[in-house]
Structure 1
Amino acid sequence: MRAKITYAITAAVLVVYFVLAGDRGIMLIQQGTLLTVTFGIAVLILPVIGIWFLWANTQFVRKANRLAELLEAEGGLPVDELRRDGYGRIDRDSADEVFARRKAETEDAPGDWRCWFRLAVAYRDARDTPRARKAMQRAIALQEGRTLST
């Protein structure tokens, strides 16, 4: 719940920033000189990219959460079996063991979105965010009946 609130607040702040930046871009364009119109267009591009990025990430999170709900309903969510030290940090060897099992599971059933979801969680636990995101994208695509290039 805390992550959802943080995400909502961050998204709201970004939207306010995009509106303010867009307003400044329009004001620059209205000045009518070559320089201000050029800067105005450049300033307008940033909010457009930002809005697209925010929308794409929101869709990704929504779809990943939907998969988590489906797996939870099936009783297939990965169990947290990681060992932690006294400060709550994950033991690296423990993460490597879990990751190796998840990787083998995915290699045995490469078309099963559930395996890719569990692999994404293992990557996240190992703090490998780029691979976690790619594995989750694969899980989402497989669940939706789409394919992704390797």
Structure 2
Amino acid sequence: MKISKTKIWVGLITLLLVFYIVVMMQRAVLLLGDSDWIAKLLGLSYFVIPLVAAWALISEILFGARTEKMANVLEAEGGLPEDNLPRTPAGRIVREAADAEFEKYKLEAEAAPEDWRSWFRLSCAYDASGDRSRARKTMRDAVALFRAHP
């Protein structure tokens, strides 16, 4: 089994975040033991920040794992969109070509709104067109459909 560079980076960032959470919790306990009410309030807030960080970490790892699982299913079915768009000399996708290709995937998703595969491909098209926020939202929709109808 080959481990990608992305997974190595995710692992390193996860370790750093876990270290941060442990240090924040330690500081929170120290501040809560202080007699000053401001220090206690700060200690309480030090408990909240790591909880939010842990929630964000877990949700992002689950999102990545589910997306990878969906990509593996599409690859096995031969349904992944081909990466054949023209690129600039710097390696970036030519925006006009991505926008033209986008319309095809938009129509596919409109024709099959309950099929996670069409939403996955639409998300890839958003990403190729440079619209990262819509790509992420669309991929979250694809994940929800995948989980409801695998």
Interval of TM-score (by shorter of Structure 1 and Structure 2)? over 0.9
Q: 1:70 aligns with which of 43, 51, 73?
A: 73
1:38 equivalenced with 2:44 (yes/no): no
Which residue in 1 is equivalent to 2:14? 11
* Cα deviation digits, residues 52-89 of structure 1 (max 9, x gap): 00001111111111100111111111101211012211
Which residue in 2 is equivalent to 1:130? 133
Stretch deviating more after TM superposition (107-116 or 126-135): 126-135
TM-score between the two structures when normalised by the length of structure 2:
0.93
> Aligned-residue CA RMSD in angstroms?
1.1
Q: 1:22 aligns with which of 10, 25, 29?
A: 25
Percent identity, aligned pairs only?
38
Offset, 1:145:
1.4
Which residue in 1 is equivalent to 2:148? 145
What's the secondary structure of 1:144's corresponding residue? helix
Offset, 1:33:
2.5
Alignment gaps of 5+ in structure 2: none
Offset, 1:38:
0.5
Q: Which amino acid aligns with 1:43?
A: Y
Q: Supply the distance in 1 between the matched residues of 2:97 and 2:84 (Cα, whole angstroms).
A: 8
Q: Supply the distance in 2 between the matched residues of 1:89 and 1:144 (Cα, whole angstroms).
A: 33
Offset, 1:2:
1.0
TM-score between the two structures when normalised by the length of structure 1:
0.93
Q: Supply the distance in 2 between the matched residues of 1:108 and 1:134 (Cα, whole angstroms).
A: 19
Q: Supply the distance in 2 between the matched residues of 1:119 and 1:61 (Cα, whole angstroms).
A: 17
Alignment gaps of 5+ in structure 1: none
Q: 1:88 aligns with which of 88, 91, 96?
A: 91
